[in-house]
Structure 1
């Protein structure tokens, strides 16, 4: 079955006047019903056909999150074309590589920089022939270009969706990659549909059609795209956040019930709440700590699927009124289900959210596995783990403790890279994830680290950097950190302060400085971070502890290639770029 048909036809027929998607227009939020949503998709699909897009042609999307993004995606799949997403933050060179490698014919862009980059590419007489611009605010040249509104204006709102087999290609997702050249992950219509069915079987949601999800992470990334499409597949509404910087305001405006996010989102809330509690009066601090203890007790009983005594329910109700309700209101007041992926999340963070009454569903997966392989069930999960395999997923632990997978979501391979594909599959057909892990006695999967990231000190001790980095970023003074240990006699780190909190600290302590480059070299600030790090890593083994660090004057940036669009540090890039700073610590 065609994925677009599985999503559109069922819902447009079942509840045509129910809202499907939401987006911001000027200062207000607007919605499209399933009837209107499907008509716009079909008009876009017919316009693509009229402009020469045929079955199995490639259609690129180079834009920030928007309703148009998903409309274009589903329209392309409706006519049997293959969608090729490009990160909105990619520069012209990176976009050109993906367009040339995939041989994309037509591209949707969202802003001026994306249009200008695409216009340069289209003039080079390669595969790209046409640019579609989603917003009229973008200034365009006439050649090869249409505004989306004009592009679809004369198209029919009726379409016979192209039939597809489960094994037919639906999309090519180029890995943002923490190392090396991006590879095109080939995912099929069956990969998506079977993965979605597995999620519904695993979670057994009630009244899923009443849920509202906010698309916050980039739709280009497999995690957000799969989650948003899954929500539409199940008949829920999806709202689109175009600028992630507006997340705090948007959560309060939209009041979503579901949203997928990366660990940094949860770490910031966790650190912010604890910082606020620490600075409160002794009475407020006492109430906060009491509420948290009550929350922990009830959350633990729910986790074990045990009944909650009446007296404890009364206490929980009071804790909700005094403390938890106020925390929840800051993130909209209705969030209850939050899938988290992209990196590991510390047990103390997931325990905190469970105590407050928000289920953070930690999961594990890759672009190559159509996102989720494992996830927390609603009960009997284990904090610190990545949950249990979804239906239709098999996992085994191979050589070097590598996690290997088989199942519905595993990709067809890398586009036009048979040798690279062969490298990531065992002879008996298991996909090699590149992550090290283990199962506990109850079938919970624990990630120990990326095999490539495991570090060995000159003393022969193995360091798992991600776990230590998590410990150190679960506070409001450290925004980003990169550990260095490979072949070294001790662990050191490059640390990016949380400049918002640091600014408040220097102001309160009357520390004069001219700029951040000057500030991070001041003894008072270095001493502050020495104390923070000592406090945060007291439970680590001595050989795991950061002995020296360098404070960075600015954040690692997506645009400079130091981090991926989902905020994972490209370790090799950072280590090479700041080699001189690192050597000074040794």
Structure 2
């Protein structure tokens, strides 16, 4: 059992069908299954010739690319272990992972990553060789090869190394919202069982005709496992190197599938609502007509009921007048969109359902090979995280903590037996760290991260994520972080949507200078005060944000304020801005 056996299977089934896509010199290119397998096998032989053998660790420190996935599959097919490193990690973070994992070789993508790797190699007893994906990177001669030169003379005849199900495939270091990164050990069986569970659960038809766009970091278990699942099933995957170009890539690639995090959908939802709010009364009427028709149709479909003929006609009109334009901006072909990494508001999932774009909400962790639960195609419940997949078992433990068992559960944390023991109960259930509840139909509802639950000095419990989602569903708010633990009332750090705010400044009779000045102007603060009051009118009094500070810049991945999937690291942010937060309680 080696999870890369699909390379041989798909080469036999459809050798000339596209396997992967990538952009080169502003043009999207394809590589078919025959050539894709050949590239992987050549790379595997090159690795073998360089002294990489079974169970050796090989790191990848690069942005998404065709080279990333080829190198990953080459390492795995050789029976070695891939150690992905977030492309945004700094030298210190990368050094920790490389030394802790004892990686012997590394693939890097850009100049900054190469420079960091070269400096680390000079002081590392383990790292021996650096492979550079792109020839645009300037290199030194020692320990360095360009990938193209590295594989040039390698043979393309290769036998995939047989592995046991419990053999390690990868060590993924959790970015985590707290503490030192821990290396999550995932096996070949973790992945293959996870893939089979998805195919059994969703029962896709003609999956090999699907086309996924990979734009979340491949280092993250969500994109990595989804991409490998797609390739296992014979679907084509295109790789986006620069995530800032997602809007353009969607219209160029026209994917049918794509996994993403809630923020992606929130931004579209907020943008459309803002556009409608600023439109004419006629446009508002047309949009509300369309949304009403789409919502009714999606509800009939969700409950597997026949859509009345009259309503179906209205929905077709809604599609032509409104939804088609929005869908075309997303490529026009998307129909399956797994969503995870954080909670998403039911308003957002209902909105996309009304347009005919189904967001498949799921829940899982790196330690569970991503998905534990997901929306089925029918009878899903908005606001929930869906129902368990495959052989996953779930129950609630102390403080309603979600406990899990199943084929996806990790082997443990690399070289950390105590930390591993801490996250398992005595009878072998994995402790997720999330609080939840189940409805009568077995749908899981995530309450919050247990460590994120806040208690005010007045004894009131605050679950921050629903409040933060409510705020960031607005087009003028990019991100929000709620503060309440041990405090008399709730406050928030607000990251504005700088693009939307800049466009709105003329309406406030403000000339743009710089963001430090703008966010401290009384008119801007009053604008946000009124907006926040309107947004949180349905909340209980003790849950409402009483004071807030507008931040002059985004939280940054590089400085450790947010994770690569855009989750706020509360401890880091609270420490960094402690004085600013303190002023809201004076």
TM above 0.5: yes
SS at match of 2:560: coil
Q: Is 1:91 equivalent to 2:93 in the alignment?
A: no
- Partner in structure 2 of residue 316 of structure 1: 315
> 2:168 aligns to what?
169
- In the alignment, does 2:31 pair up with 1:3? no
What per-residue deviation string (whole Å, max 9, x for no partner) do you get for residues 491-530 of structure 1?
0011111110110111233213421111111110000000
SS at match of 2:343: coil
Range moving further from structure 2, 231-240 or 503-512? 503-512
1:331-342 counterparts in 2 under 5 A?
331-342=330-341
Q: Deviations over 1:524-574 (max 9, x none)?
A: 000000011001001111100000001111110011110011100000000
Deviation at 1:249, TM superposition (A): 0.4
Query: In the aligned structure 2, how far is the partner of 1:476 from the partner of 1:86?
Result: 32
> Quick one: distance in 2 between partners of 1:522 and 1:18?
57
Query: Hey, what does 2:349 align to over in structure 1?
Result: 350
Residue in structure 2 matched with residue 418 of structure 1 by the alignment: 417
Counting only pairs closer than 5 Å after superposition, residues 104-143 of structure 1 correspond to structure 2 as: 104-143=103-142
Q: Is the 8 A contact 2:508 2:523 kept in 1?
A: no
**Would the alpha carbon gap of residues 119 and 532 (structure 1) be closer, same or farther in structure 2, given more than 3 Å must change?**
same
> Which residue of structure 2 aligns with residue 367 of structure 1?
366
Secondary structure of residue in 1 paired with 2:505: helix
Give the structure 1 partner of residue 482 of structure 2.
483
The match for 2:215 is 216
Structure 1 equivalent of residue 246 of structure 2: 247
Q: CA–CA distance in 1 between the matches of 2:364 and 2:286?
A: 39
**Any idea what SS the aligned residue of 1:368 has?**
helix
1:575 is the counterpart of 2:574: yes
In structure 2, what is the Cα distance between the partners aligned to 1:314 and 1:194? 43
Distance across 2 between alignment mates of 1:44 and 1:181 = 33
Shift in Å at residue 125 of structure 1? 4.1
Cα separation, 1, equivalents of 2:316 and 2:497 = 35
Change (3 A) 1:585 1:125: closer
Q: TM-score, normalised by structure 2?
A: 0.99
Distance 1:121 1:497 in 2: 37
Give 1:578 deviation, angstroms: 0.3
In the TM superposition, structure 1's runs of 4+ consecutive aligned residues that sit over 4 Å from their partners are none
* Contact 2:519–2:552 (8 Å) recurs in 1: yes
In structure 2, how many angstroms separate the alpha carbons of the residues matched to 1:126 and 1:314?
69
SS of match in other structure, 2:554: coil
Counterparts of 2:285 and 2:316, CA distance in 1? 17
2:521 aligned with 1:522:
yes
Q: Following the alignment from structure 1 to structure 2, what is the Cα–Cα distance between the partners of residues 61 and 24?
A: 20
CA positional deviation for 1:309: 1.4
Alignment correspondent of 1:195: 194
For 1:553 and 1:319, the matched residues in 2 are separated by: 39
CA apart distance, 1:440: 0.5
**Distance (Å, rounded) in 2 between the aligned partners of 1:233 and 1:307:** 35
CA contact (8 A) 2:468 2:482 kept: yes
- Secondary structure of 1:452's counterpart equals helix
* Partner SS, residue 142 of structure 1: coil
Aligned partners of 2:302 and 2:380 also within 8 Å: yes
Per the alignment, residue 100 of structure 2 pairs with 101
Q: Deviation of residue 285 (structure 1)?
A: 1.1
Is residue 502–residue 512 contact of structure 2 (8 Å, CA) maintained in 1? no
CA distance in 2, matches of 1:569, 1:26: 35
Q: Please name the residue that 2:553 is paired with.
A: 554
SS in 2 for 1:123: helix
Cα deviations by residue, 1:341-386 (Å, 9 ceiling, x for unpaired): 0100000000000000001000000000000000000010000000
Q: 1:64: how far off?
A: 0.1
Note the residue ranges of structure 1 that are not aligned, 5 or more in a row.
none
Q: Distance in 2 between matches of 1:513 and 1:329?
A: 33
**Alpha-carbon contact 2:250-2:331 (below 8 Å) kept:** yes
Contact 2:62–2:113 (CA<8 Å) still a contact in 1? yes
Tell me the equivalent position of 1:541: 540
Cα distance, 1:314 vs structure 2: 1.1
Q: Deviations over 1:199-246 (max 9, x none)?
A: 000001111111000001000000000000000001000000000000
Question: Gapped runs of 5+ residues in structure 2?
Answer: none
Match of 1:237 in 2: 236
C-alpha distance in 2 between matches for 1:211 and 1:79: 28
Counterpart Cα distance in 1 of 2:42 and 2:113: 24
Please give the per-residue CA displacement for 1:269-295, whole angstroms capped at 9, x wherever unaligned. 000111111111111111110000000
Structure 2 counterpart SS, 1:372: strand
3-state SS, counterpart of residue 426 of structure 2: coil
Partner SS state of residue 54, structure 1: coil
Tell me how far 1:391 sits from its aligned partner.
1.5
Question: What is the SS of the residue equivalent to 2:333?
Answer: coil
Q: How many aligned residue pairs are there? A: 585
> Distance in 1 between the 2:200 and 2:511 partners?
58
1:123: Cα distance to partner? Answer: 1.2
Distance 2:193 2:153 in 1: 36
For residues 124 and 260 of structure 2, what CA distance do their matches in structure 1 show?
39
Q: Give yes or no for contact 2:257–2:336 (8 Å, CA) kept in 1.
A: yes
In structure 2, distance between residues paired with 1:539 and 1:395: 32
Aligned to 2:153: 154
> Distance between the aligned counterparts of 1:76 and 1:430, measured in 2?
31
